[in-house]
């Protein structure tokens, strides 16, 4: 039966919703594998039933976003994640056996994975379907109830998402919350059993402080500046193809989009020429091409144009790589190359989240790796190379949420890989088995049987006891 979703507009409303879900969770604290699988199956079916409505809503919220792009970037990885979770949830739920110390024998030990309770999810506007329902899949697989705070910048998509989750799951599993920044702030102050936030690093600081009020466990997916490093051995034509794929899909409004490029000085012009060719193939009419996605709103367009203005004022050369059409139109902005911007500029301090591409050059790989090492740890790093040694150096010397060799963006759609950042790019991970663990409490269970050997070691401690304790030390 379809449930009419509630609209929450105050702290009291969302607190009442949380209290209700906590009561539901207490009545059924350990949903069976079959209950969880049914939830995932119903969600899967509802997504398929509402696919056209979702794609239309995304088009309206963005102003221009091709259905094929939304399907590729949001629905395909999400449905893959659901399928993977359904296949593996029984194995993930199974308690893991652990060894017991010889002093405790006879006994058995295991780790039991139980739902945390009610999980809060705060999702962003750039991928409003994938980044709201993806965490929902992980939380449901672990047996939790969920409250989702959706972005206020995607009202049309939010309406369809409410219909999907209420139709598929009902009010015993999920509540949907909408509202401006004030509601989001109140949402993050609630005493959830776990809170996942996807968004900017600056807001992540606020979310973490708010969660600390109740010592709420938290997962932060923050993004940051993901470098794309072109090694001297790289195939530049292939690099340009993969770079354009990762940078211009969704107009660069992707947390793992390549944020800046580092290439050898001898490679730079050839790489730029290939990028221009690839862009011309993608978008023959430049920004007027119907497949080129708009920026979500005027605020984001003005922010990016501000970066360009600041860079030009500082003497940075900024080239439009899409000269086939106007530089901007109907909320769309052409992809620009910014040559050697200095680190003090906003475009090199902030996550760009749009079609601007700083290009830096290096003299040798050690210089490039040192540059990346000295900056905040990125959510993703991209390396283009034909040499295994380059891969080894990046694996060992660069700490990042993920490392992708000779491609971009595709790591997000890997259902069996965790997704998460480190340091300034976040903490914790979800997707795959790591997502199940994130939303589960790992409870130690020790079952003691038979005689209690440790009773021999009770006070008063005489010489015989000292000898016994000394022998136990050899088994530690």
Q: Is residue 458 part of a domain?
A: no
Q: What is the pLDDT of residues 150-159, one digit of tens each?
A: 999 999 999 9
Q: What is the pLDDT of residues 15-28, one digit of tens each?
A: 999 999 999 999 99
Q: Is residue 461 part of a domain?
A: no
Query: Half-sphere exposure (CA, 13 Å, Cβ side) for 355?
Result: 28
Q: Are residues 101 and 217 in the same domain?
A: yes
Residue with tokens 């390396």: 383
CB atoms within 10 A of CB 37: 18
CA angle 343, 270, 317 (to 5 degrees): 35
Q: Are residues 433 and 317 in the same domain?
A: no
Q: Are residues 236 and 281 in the same domain?
A: yes
Q: Are residues 335 and 309 in the same domain?
A: yes
Q: How far apart are CA 193 and CA 438, in angstroms?
A: 11
In this prediction, residues 280-300 reach a mean pLDDT of 95
pLDDT of residue 103: 75
Residue 15, domain CATH: 3.40.605.10
Q: Is residue 448 part of a domain?
A: no
Q: Are residues 116 and 175 in the same domain?
A: yes
Question: Would you say 158 and 178 are in contact if contact means Cβ atoms under 8 Å apart?
Answer: yes
Domain span at residue 344 reads 226-416
Res 473 pLDDT > 80:
no
Q: Is residue 465 part of a domain?
A: no
Q: How far apart are CA 456 and CA 210, in angstroms?
A: 50
Query: Which residue in 416, 251, 406, 217 sits closest to 330, CA to CA?
Result: 251
Cα–Cα distance list, 307 to 63, 134, 313 (Å): 22, 32, 10
Cα–Cα distance list, 98 to 102, 104, 270, 446, 454 (Å): 13, 13, 56, 9, 20
Residue with tokens 């899409």: 322
Q: Are residues 198 and 321 in the same domain?
A: no
Of the ranges 240-254, 377-391, 456-470, which one carries the lowest mean pLDDT score?
456-470
Of the residues 382, 416, 450, which one is the last residue of a structural domain?
Answer: 416
Total domain count for the chain? 2
Q: Is residue 401 part of a domain?
A: yes
Q: Is residue 35 part of a domain?
A: yes
pLDDT of residue 97: 95
**Residues annotated catalytic, as ranges:** 221, 255
Q: Are residues 278 and 160 in the same domain?
A: no
Q: How far apart are CA 328 and CA 300, in angstroms?
A: 13
Question: Could you say which DSSP state residue 91 is in?
Answer: H
Q: Are residues 235 and 350 in the same domain?
A: yes
Res 133 pLDDT > 50:
yes
Q: Are residues 26 and 77 in the same domain?
A: yes
Q: Are residues 290 and 403 in the same domain?
A: yes
Distance of CA 366 to the CA centre of its chain: 30
CB atoms within 10 A of CB 166: 21
Q: Are residues 93 and 114 in the same domain?
A: yes
Q: Are residues 216 and 245 in the same domain?
A: no
Q: Is residue 327 part of a domain?
A: yes
pLDDT of residue 275: 98
Of the ranges 77-81, 261-265, 462-466, which one carries the lowest mean pLDDT score?
462-466
Of the ranges 57-61, 94-98, 282-286, 465-469, which one carries the lowest mean pLDDT score?
465-469
Q: What is the pLDDT of residues 369-412, one digit of tens each?
A: 999 999 999 999 999 999 999 999 999 999 999 999 999 999 99
Quote the pTM value. Answer: 0.92
CA angle 398, 276, 364 (to 5 degrees): 35
pLDDT of residue 381: 97
């Amino acid at each position: 039966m379809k449930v009419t979703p509630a609209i929450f507009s105050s702290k009291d409303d969302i607190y009442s919703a949380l209290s209700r879900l906590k009561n539901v969770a207490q009545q059924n604290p350990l949903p069976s594998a079959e209950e969880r699988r049914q939830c995932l199956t119903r969600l899967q079916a509802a997504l398929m039933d509402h696919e056209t409505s979702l794609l239309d809503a995304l088009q309206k919220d963005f102003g221009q976003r091709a259905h094929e792009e939304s399907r590729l970037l949001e629905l395909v990885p999400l449905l893959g994640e659901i399928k993977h979770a359904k296949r593996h949830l029984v194995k993930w739920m199974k308690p893991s056996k652990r060894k017991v110390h010889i002093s405790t024998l006879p006994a058995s030990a295991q780790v039991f994975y139980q739902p945390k309770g009610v999980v809060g999810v705060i999702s962003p506007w750039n991928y409003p379907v994938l980044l709201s329902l993806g965490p929902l899949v992980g939380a449901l697989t672990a047996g939790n109830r969920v409250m989702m705070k959706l972005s206020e910048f995607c009202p049309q998509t939010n309406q369809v998402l409410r219909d999907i989750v209420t139709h598929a799951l009902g009010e015993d599993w999920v509540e949907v919350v909408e509202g401006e920044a004030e509601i989001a702030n109140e949402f993050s102050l609630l005493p959830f059993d776990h809170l996942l936030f996807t968004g900017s690093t600056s807001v992540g600081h606020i979310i973490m402080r708010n969660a600390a009020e109740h010592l709420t466990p938290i997962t932060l997916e923050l993004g940051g500046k993901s470098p794309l490093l072109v090694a001297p051995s790289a195939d530049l034509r292939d690099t340009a193809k993969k770079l354009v794929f990762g940078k211009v899909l969704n107009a660069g409004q992707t947390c793992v989009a390549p944020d800046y490029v580092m290439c050898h000085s001898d490679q730079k012009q050839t790489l730029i020429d290939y990028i221009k060719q690839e862009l011309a193939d993608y978008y023959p009419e430049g920004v007027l091409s119907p497949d080129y996605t708009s920026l979500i709103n005027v605020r984001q367009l003005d922010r990016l144009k501000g970066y360009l203005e600041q860079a030009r004022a500082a003497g940075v050369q900024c080239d439009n790589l899409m000269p086939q059409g106007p530089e901007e139109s109907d909320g769309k902005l052409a992809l620009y190359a910014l040559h050697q911007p200095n680190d003090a500029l906003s475009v090199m301090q902030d996550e760009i989240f749009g079609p601007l591409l700083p290009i830096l050059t290096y003299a040798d790989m050690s210089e490039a790796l040192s540059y990346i090492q000295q900056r905040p740890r990125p959510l993703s790093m991209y390396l283009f190379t034909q040499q295994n040694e380059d891969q080894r150096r990046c694996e060992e010397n660069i700490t990042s949420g993920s490392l992708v060799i000779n491609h971009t963006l595709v790591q997000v759609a890997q259902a069996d890989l965790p997704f998460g950042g480190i340091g300034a790019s976040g903490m914790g991970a979800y997707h795959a088995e790591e997502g199940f663990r994130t939303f589960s409490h790992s409870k130690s269970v020790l079952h003691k049987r038979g005689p209690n050997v440790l009773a021999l070691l009770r006070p008063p401690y005489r010489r015989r006891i000292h000898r016994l304790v000394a022998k136990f030390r050899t088994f530690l």
